[in-house]
């Protein structure tokens, strides 16, 4: 089996998680290099995993000992690093969002199309979650009839300080935009956003309630609340003509202890989507080795950015904002 030597740019929460998954349970890959602007953080991960420490993202991408790259640096650097990977002709798994603006996503799409090779996979991990996959299969089986509503809830225990109300849309709600497109195989055509008052425990950003319409006429509502305190809670229910299908949020075991009866809510997404993160990395490596790629493409990253920008405009205007539909380029079919 060929071995792909992977380099990771950004060794914070997600970079370290990917590194540990790669080092422990992905076949056909090895973690070969890491870079972080905080060198001490990169060194500590390198000591744990045996990877080499690089002193710059450019050096890591160009190095002959690195075959493929995972980009986990701050969101604002994603598109620039994706462009550098394309220029070097190396596959990259780029954490979501693909870019911080639609223009940035367009640049990546143009470069990839011009290069003539699909090199970028966007880290929309939920596409690898068994729950969402089962929802998609239930809809496709036609037992339920056509979809009418998709209800989504996205709650984090405590969001990081840098997450503003606006960044929450790209960073958190972006997952919901992508999973809507994945589940319904439909495009989002409009967005409206309303916000309640801020929680007194997180006065610097507001929760969001996003209402989307799809081209075929499905209504999608999304609650995004990144400061719910009690844990990581992601839910989805698809309401169709003859029934519904929803994510089962309870884990395999229930706990009864000291007056408590129920299941524990995971602290964050790494635990909740543990299986999906592994499948995503294995799928990415398998695709590099020639298997079909089931991950989100640059086109998917671009369409999510279009919805993000429409939501930002809707926040400012208080109006429903259109997301013009475009035909998917043949290159991405
Ligand atoms: C984070 O980047 C994620 O990917 C999580 O899934 C999401 O819940 C969180 O809000 C984001 O900041």
pLDDT per position as a tens digit, 230-259: 999 999 999 999 999 999 977 778 899 999
DSSP state of 76: G
- Domain spanning 4-126+276-297: which superfamily? NAD(P)-binding Rossmann-like Domain (3.40.50.720)
What is the DSSP pairing of strand 68-71 with strand 92-95?
parallel
pLDDT-derived band of residue 263, with 50, 70 and 90 as boundaries? confident
Share of the chain above pLDDT 90, in %: 91
What's the 294 CA to ligand 1 centre distance in angstroms?
21
Residue 185 has pLDDT above 80, yes or no: yes
Ligand 1, pocket-test mutation among 170, 175, 208, most atoms within 8 A of CB = 175
The domain segmentation of the chain, as residue ranges, is 4-126+276-297, 129-267+304-332
Q: State residue 92 phi and psi, 5-degree precision.
A: -140, 140
Q: What is the CATH number of domain 129-267+304-332?
A: 3.30.360.10
Tell which residue, 178, 9, 137, has the closest CA to residue 80: 9
Residues with CB under 6 A from ligand 1: 156, 171-172, 175, 226, 269
Rounded average pLDDT over 210-228: 98
Prediction pTM value: 0.96
CB of 180 within 8 A of CB of 214? yes
Atom 3 of ligand 1, residue of closest alpha carbon: 172
For the CA of 273, the closest atom of ligand 1 is 6
Q: Whose CA is nearest to atom 9 of ligand 1?
A: 172
Q: How far is the CA of 155 from the centre of ligand 1 (A)?
A: 9
Which pLDDT tens digit goes with each residue over 77-96?
A: 999 999 999 999 999 999 99
What ligand 1 atom has the least distance to the C-alpha of 154?
A: 8
The answer to whether 7 and 69 have CB atoms below 8 angstroms apart is yes
Atom from ligand 1 closest to the CA of residue 232:
8
Supply the pLDDT for residue 264: 86
């Amino acid at each position: 089996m060929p071995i792909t030597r992977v380099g990771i740019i950004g060794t914070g929460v997600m970079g370290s998680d990917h590194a540990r998954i790669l080092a422990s349970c992905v076949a056909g890959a090895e973690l070969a290099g890491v870079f972080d602007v905080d060198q001490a953080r990169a060194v500590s991960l390198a000591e744990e995993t045996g990877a080499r420490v690089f002193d710059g993202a450019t050096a890591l991408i160009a190095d002959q000992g690195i075959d493929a790259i995972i980009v986990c640096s701050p969101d604002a650097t994603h598109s620039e690093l994706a462009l550098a990977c394309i220029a070097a002709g190396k596959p990259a798994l780029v954490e979501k969002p693909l870019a911080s603006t639609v223009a940035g996503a367009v640049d990546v799409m143009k470069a990839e199309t011009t290069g003539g090779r699909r090199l970028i996979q966007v880290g929309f991990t939920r596409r690898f979650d068994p729950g969402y996959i089962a929802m998609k299969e239930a809809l496709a089986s036609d037992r339920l009839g056509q979809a009418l509503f998709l209800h989504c809830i996205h709650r984090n225990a405590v969001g990081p300080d840098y997450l503003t109300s606006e960044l929450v849309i790209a960073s958190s709600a972006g997952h919901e935009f992508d999973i809507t497109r994945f589940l319904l195989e439909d495009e989002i055509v409009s967005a409206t956003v309303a916000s309640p008052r801020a929680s007194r425990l997180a006065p610097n950003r507001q929760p969001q309630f996003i209402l989307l319409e799809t081209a075929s006429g499905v209504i999608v509502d999304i609650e995004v609340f990144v400061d719910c305190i009690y844990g990581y809670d992601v839910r989805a229910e698809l309401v169709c003509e003859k029934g519904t299908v929803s994510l089962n949020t309870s884990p395999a075991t229930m706990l009864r202890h000291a007056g408590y009866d129920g299941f524990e809510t995971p602290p964050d997404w790494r635990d909740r989507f543990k299986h999906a993160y592994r499948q995503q990395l294995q799928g990415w490596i398998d695709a590099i080795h020639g298997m079909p790629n089931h991950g989100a493409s640059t086109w998917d990253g671009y369409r999510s950015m279009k919805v993000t920008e429409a939501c930002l405009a809707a926040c400012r205007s208080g109006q429903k904002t259109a997301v013009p539909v475009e035909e998917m380029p043949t290159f991405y079919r």
